[in-house]
Amino acid sequence: MKKRILILGSTGSIGTQALEVAATHSDKLQVVGLAAHSSSGTLNTQAQQFGLDDSACCLTARDGMDALISLIEATQPDIVLNALVGSAGLRATVTTLQAGLTLALANKESLIVGGELVTELATQNQMLPVDSEHSAIFQCLQSGNSAALKAIWLTASGGPFRGKTREQLADVRAADALAHPTWSMGPKITVDSATLMNKGLEVIEAHHLFGTSYDDITVLLQPRSLIHSMVEFVDGSTIGHLGIADMRVPIQYAFSYPERWPAVADLSVDYRELAGLELGAPDTDTFGCLRLAFQAGRSGGTAPCILNAANEVAVAAFLKDQIVFLDIEACVANALDHFASKILPLESIEQVEELDAQVRSFVDSIV
Ligand code: NAD
Ligand code: MG
């Protein structure tokens, strides 16, 4: 029996790589639906390639988010890949989990914003991480039980500006930030990787996915992106996940789990050439977004929603050259400050959606 998969965000970086995985493993995977925001040409081509008619495809720019939600309900796939970008993915995450479908989660923002509201909906292994670090951790955790987990070592490339000072970052513009050294990704996550906000979001993501306290999650700088993360057990054993930086590996694992299938390409690494693998600590004085994310994560409740919404608006403004690089961090700090009285325990999806909208309009007004 083929696994039936629905790809949300099919025209994006993760979505197109997921379709490559699906095409390679067409004996095991059947694409039953596609959704994207506005690239109708690309979506049509994808639909033709996978033999889908209009009723299995959704463009939210035309049909709205309700149509995307209906597509999840109508197709009832075995796996929904949520590869939308931003907190716009929250409703898709919630609907998928409530429908009892397996969620392959690339859209980390929905987990960061929804926090326990999302994790409480998920049964064991219903939510499979696609983010490379979290897929790595998930795989490492299979060698010991989570009660024996001591610490997570979450690796980070450091982004294109690793080693720079704040003075040097003052003139950075969108074009500079879009040149990431090791991963080729959508524009929003590429900027997040440059500010290290992506790593901050991933710390919060790891906290929710694996139930690990913030004190036990350490960010490890590793510029070559060969170690995708490690877990340390109480007995002194540390298990790491290594390999080429290629998102098709964690995407495929979320589809194949609990099996392993042949890789889509030759992804072998000659580990004899790994001499001089540099490891270190990230510079959170220069890259304050990582510090702010830890802070919001530790505050818990709605704080990560505020952090995320402010970041999304600031990054969009940065991509339009309306603000400079260091303004992103300033916007996030400003929003966390401005909404300090709104940092409350999580109650409902409506609560976070409303706060998300308030923070967006506040940050819109200051950029
Ligand atoms: P992208 O910008 O390349 O693609 C986003 C996709 O979502 C597109 O298909 C777009 O049409 C669709 N989309 C965007 N906004 C939408 C909306 N409001 N409604 C409906 N569809 C919408 O982004 P990406 O790099 O593929 O990232 C997707 C998600 O995966 C993000 O949450 C990102 O953090 C995460 N992620 C990406 C990578 C990567 O290598 N690209 C790695 C790890 C995690
Ligand atoms: Mg990642």
Task: Specify the DSSP class assigned to residue 123.
Answer: P
Residue to substitute in 84, 90, 198, 311 for testing ligand 1 pocket (most ligand atoms within 8 angstroms of CB): 84
Q: Which helix (H) or strand (E) holds 17?
A: helix 13-24
Residue 7: nearest ligand to its CA? 1
Residue to substitute in 8, 11, 14 for testing ligand 1 pocket (most ligand atoms within 8 angstroms of CB): 14
Ligand 1 neighbours, Cβ below 6 Å, are 9-15, 36-37, 39, 60, 83-85, 88, 106-109, 131, 183, 185-186, 188-189, 247
Q: Quick one: tokens of 317? A: 């403004």
Identity of residue 19: L
Residue 36: nearest ligand to its CA? 1
Task: Specify the DSSP class assigned to residue 321.
Answer: T
| Separation of alpha carbons 352 and 301, rounded Å | 10
Count of C-beta atoms within a 10 Å radius of residue 164: 18
Q: What confidence score (pLDDT) does residue 181 get?
A: 64
pLDDT digits (tens, 9 = 90+) for 212-269: 999 999 999 999 899 999 999 999 999 999 999 999 999 999 999 999 999 999 999 9
Q: How far is CA 201 from the centre of its chain?
A: 8
Identity of residue 265: A
Give me the residues paired with residue 232 across strands.
151, 238
- Is the pLDDT at 44 greater than 80? The verdict is yes
Q: Quick one: tokens of 261? A: 């299938």
Count of C-beta atoms within a 10 Å radius of residue 144: 17
Residue 13: nearest ligand to its CA? 1
Backbone phi, psi, residue 146, to 5°: -65, -20
Edge-first strand listing for the sheet containing 217-221: 217-221, 149-156, 227-233, 238-242
Residue to substitute in 21, 38, 130, 185 for testing ligand 1 pocket (most ligand atoms within 8 angstroms of CB): 185
| Separation of alpha carbons 231 and 237, rounded Å | 8
Handedness of CA 157, 160, 161, 163 (dihedral sign): positive
pLDDT digits (tens, 9 = 90+) for 169-201: 998 999 999 876 666 799 999 999 999 999 999
